[in-house]
Amino acid sequence: MAAIETDICVIGAGSGGLSVAAGAVQMGAKVVLLEGHKMGGDCLNYGCVPSKALLAAGHKAHETEQAAFGVAGHPSAADYAAAKDHVHGVIAEIAPADSQDRFEGLGVHVIREFGRFISETEVQAGDDTITARRFVIATGSRPFVPPIPGLDGVPHHTNETIFDLRERPGHLIVIGGGPIGLEMAQAHQRLGSQVTVLEGDKAMGKDDPEAAAIVLETLRAEGIAIVEGAKASQISGTEGAIKVETEDGQSFEGTHLLVAVGRQVNVDKLDLEKAKVDYDRRGVTVDAGLRSTNKRVYAVGDVAGGYQFTHVAGYHAGVIIRPMLFGLPAKARTDHIPWATYTAPEIAQVGQTEAQAKAQHGDKVFVAKAEFHHNDRGIATGQTRGFAKVMVVKGKPVGATIVGPQAGELIQIWSLAIASKMKMSAVAGMIAPYPTLGEINKRVASAYFSPKLFESKTVKTVVRFVQKFGRP
């Protein structure tokens, strides 16, 4: 058994943990990194990376089949197993950036064991005991599998297993109408599966309803059955013949089952009580600086109990580096954090939705909106479905919603604007190349200023005065 002393001990080698470890060691701190499973965590191995790779295969198949712009479409003959080869090829290409070799090359002491606290200042990992000045819990989350009667006896998939499936499902039943469920539904439908999505409440219920309606209408038009208010009550059958019954008396049969109803944080193996770290089912209890009830211990990413996005874990890493390495104060914000669902069309959000903004600010909110069917690049490429809208209070954006092509890319300017407390005039003053989808953001800004300019009696009076008395 080895006793190791270090400045920072990071538990978990996902996005947040890797970001902390890389940043801290390169700035001179001694770092121990513990990982008992796969380097790169959920995002690289089971989440963001493989899901977007499979979606890309589905998008390619869909485009091949569509006749457009004078070009005939034809059957894609999608090869499901080959699409999965693509998925694993993408993971393999990205993996070296998250690998043990890379981090050891940076100077991080990597231990491939799960860590658990044995005191307020010590963590046990395999045969090693690590004493550290600071600890960072970055253990992420895993799929939540609800206690639906019969589910434990029926073969089913989560995002941790679906990417290893090689045989295309004949009829995939997805329980859960959130981002993961709908992304996988569209990917499989476009790769040749029949898909039924069962959602106990409202599909895409956390998104702006106006934007979500466009996505859901598109998915249904592609042939995906999306059944809302269908809470699973009983599951039975075997691989190839699975039956899901719902509380309202409906029954659905399929060949494969994917459970995508949410996430649960990974805190159960940490023995947090021994470290005097408070937690609940949402995660570790942290203050605004992401520090736990044990002042030596920080938490980042999913396990910190907030937004469960990879980019949030990376952002959290940057926040805690300041106090841990430099003794400087830092607080995590949430108002400028964007997120996206990568269906086609995409849907993206940052800050407050229209409903949230109106609930907080009332009639002080101005909703500026622009449609893709007025965007010349969208018209040229046949991508005219969707819109961008921005919620503005006292000249500053407090939230933005985009549904349409490349929404995840286009939302970034509004994240920048909110993060930097920019006014709408800054975006209005931007020059966008023509023709680009990005022009829609400038058009939204123009939609904010247009009533002030074109409907203002004062402006018209000034213009008439200048035209009559100004210099020629």
DSSP-based three-state secondary structure for 263: strand
pLDDT at 463 over 90: no
Domain match, 34 and 166 both: no
CA distance 20 to 171: 42
In degrees, rounded to 5, the angle at the alpha carbon of residue 195 between the alpha carbons of residues 192 and 197 is: 155
DSSP-based three-state secondary structure for 243: strand
**Residue 54 C-alpha from the chain's centroid:** 16
Helix 48-65 crosses helix 80-94 at what angle (to 10 degrees)?
A: 140
Provide the pLDDT confidence category of residue 112 given band limits of 50, 70 and 90: very high
Average pLDDT over residues 23-46: 97
Provide the pLDDT confidence category of residue 267 given band limits of 50, 70 and 90: very high
**Residue 253 C-alpha from the chain's centroid:** 30
Domain match, 289 and 416 both: no
Structure confidence at residue 359 (pLDDT): 97
Question: Which one, of 419, 422, 424, 420, lies nearest residue 453 by Cα?
Answer: 424
Structure confidence at residue 229 (pLDDT): 97
Structure confidence at residue 453 (pLDDT): 61
pLDDT at 466 over 90: no
Number of domains in the chain: 3
Domain match, 19 and 111 both: yes
Domain match, 430 and 384 both: yes
Whether the CA torsion 187, 188, 190, 191 is positive or negative: it is positive
> What is the residue-wise DSSP string for 64-126?
HH--BTTB--------HHHHHHHHHHHHHHHGGGG-HHHHHHHT-EEE-S-EEESSSSEEEET
Structure confidence at residue 20 (pLDDT): 98
For residue range 417-456, list pLDDT tens digits in order. 999 999 999 999 999 999 999 999 999 999 999 877 666 6
Average pLDDT over residues 42-62: 96
Provide the pLDDT confidence category of residue 126 given band limits of 50, 70 and 90: very high
CA distance 116 to 122: 9
How many CA atoms does the CB half-sphere of 358 hold within 13 Å? 8
- Work out the widest C-alpha separation in the chain, in whole angstroms: 91
Which domain CATH number covers 299?
Answer: 3.50.50.60
For residue range 70-93, list pLDDT tens digits in order. 999 998 889 999 999 999 999 999
Structure confidence at residue 282 (pLDDT): 95
Residue 311 lies in a domain: yes
Structure confidence at residue 49 (pLDDT): 97
Domain match, 221 and 303 both: no
Domain match, 226 and 315 both: no
Which residues lie below 8 Å from residue 101, measured CB to CB, with a gap of 6+? none
Average pLDDT over residues 273-287: 97
Structure confidence at residue 22 (pLDDT): 98
Which residues lie below 8 Å from residue 317, measured CB to CB, with a gap of 6+? 15, 16, 17, 19, 20, 23, 300
Structure confidence at residue 457 (pLDDT): 73
Domain match, 130 and 170 both: no
CA distance 31 to 103: 10
Report the share of the chain in percent with pLDDT over 70.
98
End of a domain among 207, 240, 261? 261
Structure confidence at residue 239 (pLDDT): 87
Structure confidence at residue 456 (pLDDT): 65
Tokens 């679906």, residue located: 162
Domain match, 138 and 270 both: yes
Average pLDDT over residues 268-278: 97
DSSP-based three-state secondary structure for 76: coil
Q: Which two tokens stand for residue 124?
A: 């046990």
Structure confidence at residue 458 (pLDDT): 74
pLDDT at 462 over 80: no
- The whole domain housing 315 covers 2-39+99-142+264-326
Domain match, 247 and 370 both: no
Structure confidence at residue 465 (pLDDT): 74
Global pTM value: 0.94
pLDDT at 21 over 70: yes
Residue 467 lies in a domain: no
pLDDT at 200 over 70: yes
In degrees, rounded to 5, the angle at the alpha carbon of residue 135 between the alpha carbons of residues 130 and 137 is: 115
Structure confidence at residue 1 (pLDDT): 67
Measure the CA dihedral 25/30/34/35, to 10°. Answer: 20
CA distance 284 to 297: 10
> What is the residue-wise DSSP string for 156-173?
-B-TTTGGG--SPPSEEE
CA distance 144 to 435: 44
Residue 462 lies in a domain: no
CA distance 106 to 166: 37
Residue 298 lies in a domain: yes
pLDDT at 9 over 80: yes
Question: Which one, of 189, 187, 215, lies nearest residue 203 by Cα?
Answer: 215
Structure confidence at residue 285 (pLDDT): 98
Residue 215 lies in a domain: yes
Domain match, 296 and 308 both: yes
Type of residue found at 448: Y
Q: Which two tokens stand for residue 214?
A: 């466009």
Average pLDDT over residues 167-183: 97
Residue 57 lies in a domain: no
Average pLDDT over residues 347-364: 97
pLDDT at 102 over 70: yes
Domain match, 189 and 282 both: no
Structure confidence at residue 228 (pLDDT): 98
pLDDT at 324 over 70: yes
Question: What does the mean pLDDT of the chain come to?
Answer: 96
In degrees, rounded to 5, the angle at the alpha carbon of residue 309 between the alpha carbons of residues 283 and 337 is: 105
Residue 63 lies in a domain: no
Type of residue found at 56: A
Structure confidence at residue 467 (pLDDT): 76
Domain match, 271 and 248 both: no
